[in-house]
Amino acid sequence: MTQDTEESVVDHTINALRAGIRDHSFAPGQRLIVADITRRLGVSAGPVREAIRRLNGEGLIDIQPNRGAVVRRFDAADIAEIFSVREAVEARAAELAALNIDQGDNRRKLDEIMAEAPDAEAEGGPRYIDHNARFHALIYEMAGNNKLREVAEGLTLPIYRMQFHQLMVRRSATTSARDHDRIVDAIRRGDGPAAFQAMRDHVRRSGLGMQEAVATKLNRLKP
């Protein structure tokens, strides 16, 4: 097996585990047993171990004494901490995006993704989740600050792969889309402070929605 082939198997395994965590095939707190996953995915143990190691680094999986790898449980406190940092990071990215609006083809890219927004909002579900993720990724691209992007990826991956995200999105796609409109309006005008505040308000609102979704889900799970 070549190095490229081995890496593609690892990527396939990572994507399969992420999808399983997202759709509850692997439940919060469930142990991830290498032998079971190899049979399930038809891969060898090496890629499974590497996938678990990387997903542990992303915060999706915990390595616990005497239990090994388990799917991480997110609670309201986790969400509050993550979003408190995301407020500052994403707001700064939006501010920089506004200052960079006329660099390269930033304005065109922003117009293109916003042209998709009405259909994505109307369809909701996975399509809006994808649109939302690409919208925020574009803001970081326009910001042109790699360190901000690195910090954001560490905060965003656990959120956008976690079990409660789809529940939250179903409730708030319309509110999120209106927030995006305000953010984009400020960026198009090159108004850094307004873009900063609009993004900060958006992330704060999203965090509160996520915490509500977590609380709802956990209440349903109570005996």
Q: Which of 5-9, 101-105, 160-164 has the lowest mean pLDDT?
A: 160-164
Give me the CATH number covering residue 49: 1.10.10.10
Supply the pLDDT for residue 163: 45
Does one domain contain both 54 and 82? no
Percent of the chain with pLDDT over 90: 48
Does one domain contain both 36 and 134? no
Does one domain contain both 80 and 67? no
Does one domain contain both 92 and 48? no
Q: Final residue of a domain: which of 71, 100, 123? A: 71
Does one domain contain both 137 and 31? no
Give me the CATH number covering residue 99: 1.20.120.530
Does one domain contain both 17 and 37? yes
What does the pLDDT look like over 168-179, one tens digit per residue? 555 567 788 899
* Mean pLDDT, rounded, of the chain: 84
pTM: 0.70
Does one domain contain both 201 and 173? yes
Does one domain contain both 121 and 195? yes
Total count of domains within the chain: 2
Q: Final residue of a domain: which of 51, 71, 91? A: 71
Look up the domain containing 131 and give its range: 76-221
Does one domain contain both 49 and 149? no
CA dist 148 and 89 (Å) reads 7
Does residue 43 or residue 129 have the better pLDDT?
A: 43
Mean pLDDT, residues 96-109: 98
